[in-house]
Amino acid sequence: MRAEASIAHVDLDAMFAAVEQRDKVSLRGRPVIVGAVAGRGVVATASYEARAYGARSAMPTAEARRRCPPGTAFLAPRFAAYRKTSEVVMALLAQVSPLVEQVSIDEAYLDLAAAGRHDLSVPGVTGLAEQIRKTIAAATGGVTASVGVGTSKLVAKIGSDLHKPDGLTICAPGQERALLDPLPVTRLPGVGPATAERLRRSGLHTVADLARVGLPDLIDWFGQAHGAGLFRLARADDGRPIVGEREAKSVSAEETFDVDLTDRARLNNELDLLATRVGERLRAGGLSARTITIKVRHHDFTTITRSATRAQPTDDPRLVAQFARRLLAEVDTSVGIRLLGVGATTLADFVQEDLFGASIDDDPVTPPAATTPAVAPAPAEPASMVWRPGQDLRHDHHGAGWVWGSGHGRVTVRFEGPATPPGPVRTFAVDDPALHQADPPDWPGPAGHALSQQQVLR
């Protein structure tokens, strides 16, 4: 830990849903679910209005539909829009400190001491954190961030989560245990459902309870690595440095499940979400990767990894997901999976994809047999005939809008944007030549961008 509260963790609040509510004015204040909207998909992000009904990330979409009221918007992700917002935020944070560790598309650690110009007293970092939050909201058209500041990554991360949304927690040096002790043990990283249940059976519910357990007992219960880690974290002992993206040797994302999963379709959906997070981190850092790895932890904490290496580096989330799915196919999931992770290594500062957009099937481990005659693929359905809920589009006469819903050869569009009143709804044939796919809309707030450069960072 540091002697000063000089590590900040900035976390955008329900970012995917917040961007959708910003860009679709009729959804503001309403429950919004972003994720796989059909079949056995899962929720990527739930707005705070949806969370009030019990919806949450990683929940099956079907369950979220049962919990949320009529009128809830279920939207497919628009990663171009989220990336655009993330780039604005990360550029702001880079003005605050030269050392920023972007953890995902919507969160990052900052080393406030590395700038050499900030007042690191508690009042000083409080004022700076408040200004960061205000400037992010102004520059992103209203997407809010929660900020935690403390003497370690652990304290900063937990602090940013305590008062969401749009919250701020400053933990003064020496107050780390006072902050952590009353919290449930599940607030600590690495305490998933199985660990929490083992602790509960021993009468340990809070971080303070855990801190009273000796190291030998924790090692006996959880093994050397996990037990020693819990021992340190319960005592707020975290000396991890902030690592700039360019210094990273790998990019990864993982998820611990409330219930052990065995269903391959659900696990593949989870891999897709994790691969998207990895791909977005690669792109945000201007990096690409050749080696894709999956991490699988079973119910008994047995952990295995599988890796595959491409001929060329990539930052495409789709290719990362395809590799991850192939690797998972080699793993027995019948005993239950409690944690799943996707990682990317062998990083490079460039992407050299094959011409014509190669996929995993164009990148085999061994050359394909030359004896099988080529078969011409069936004509692809025009892109204009596949409309996803929430997708941006433009009509030749009505202007910009988004897909309200589609089916039975029809697509319903709401014509509005971030700077308009709630707009009219119109229905068209899916192949109407006046309909075109469109880029994400620009949000209002050029003054916010100017403010970011002149005020927040000095």
Contacts of 102 (CB under 8 A, 6+ apart): 90, 108, 245, 281, 284, 285
Q: Are residues 213 and 298 in the same domain?
A: no
Q: Are residues 307 and 354 in the same domain?
A: yes
For the segment 223-232, what is each residue's pLDDT rounded down to a tens digit? 888 899 999 9
How many Å apart are CA 156 and CA 162, to the nearest integer? 10
Give me the domain span that covers residue 423: 387-437
The residue ranking higher by pLDDT, 284 or 79, is: 79
DSSP-assigned beta bridge partners for residue 425: 414
Confidence check: pLDDT of 215 > 60: yes
Q: Are residues 260 and 311 in the same domain?
A: yes
Residue 281 near residue 102, CB atoms below 8 Å: yes
138 occurs within a structural domain: no
Q: Look at 179-188, 206-215, 235-244 and tell me which has the smallest mean pLDDT.
A: 235-244
Concerning whether 176 is annotated as a catalytic residue, the answer is: no
Q: What is the CA radius of gyration of the chain?
A: 23
For the segment 298-354, what is each residue's pLDDT rounded down to a tens digit? 877 778 888 888 767 888 888 899 999 999 998 888 888 988 999 998 666 444 333
Burial of 199 (0-12, 13-18, 19+ CB in 10 A): buried
pLDDT band, very low/low/confident/very high, at 167 (cuts 50, 70, 90): very high
Determine the pLDDT at residue 245: 59
**Looking at the 3D structure of the chain, how many domains does it have?**
4
CATH code for the domain of 45: 3.40.1170.60
201 occurs within a structural domain: yes
Model pTM score = 0.72
CATH code for the domain of 308: 3.30.1490.100
40 occurs within a structural domain: yes
H/E stretch holding 410 reads strand 410-414
Q: Are residues 332 and 396 in the same domain?
A: no
32 occurs within a structural domain: yes
Instruction: Return mean pLDDT, the chain.
Output: 85
Q: Are residues 315 and 406 in the same domain?
A: no
How many Å apart are CA 361 and CA 154, to the nearest integer? 41
Sheet holding 145-150, edge to edge: 100-104, 107-111, 7-12, 145-150, 168-170
The residue ranking higher by pLDDT, 203 or 383, is: 203
Q: Which of 20, 49, 101, 107 is catalytic?
A: 107
Whose CA is closest to 107, among 68, 31, 160? Answer: 160
373 occurs within a structural domain: no
Quick one: what percent of the chain has pLDDT higher than 70?
A: 86
CATH code for the domain of 196: 1.10.150.20
Give CA torsion, residues 204, 208, 210, 213, to 10 deg: -110
pLDDT band, very low/low/confident/very high, at 39 (cuts 50, 70, 90): low
**Which letter, b or e, does each residue of 432-450 get, where b requires 16 or more Cβ atoms within 10 Å of its Cβ?**
beebeeeebbebebeebee
The residue ranking higher by pLDDT, 273 or 374, is: 273
3-state DSSP call for residue 373? coil
Determine the pLDDT at residue 153: 95
Structure-token pair, residue 44: 């990527």
3-state DSSP call for residue 91? helix
Give CA torsion, residues 273, 277, 283, 284, to 10 deg: 150
Give the amino acid at 139: A
For the segment 6-22, what is each residue's pLDDT rounded down to a tens digit? 999 999 999 999 999 99
415 occurs within a structural domain: yes
Q: Are residues 259 and 329 in the same domain?
A: yes
Q: Are residues 198 and 301 in the same domain?
A: no
Determine the pLDDT at residue 411: 95
* C-alpha 60 chain-centroid distance: 17
Q: Are residues 326 and 416 in the same domain?
A: no
CATH code for the domain of 411: 2.30.30
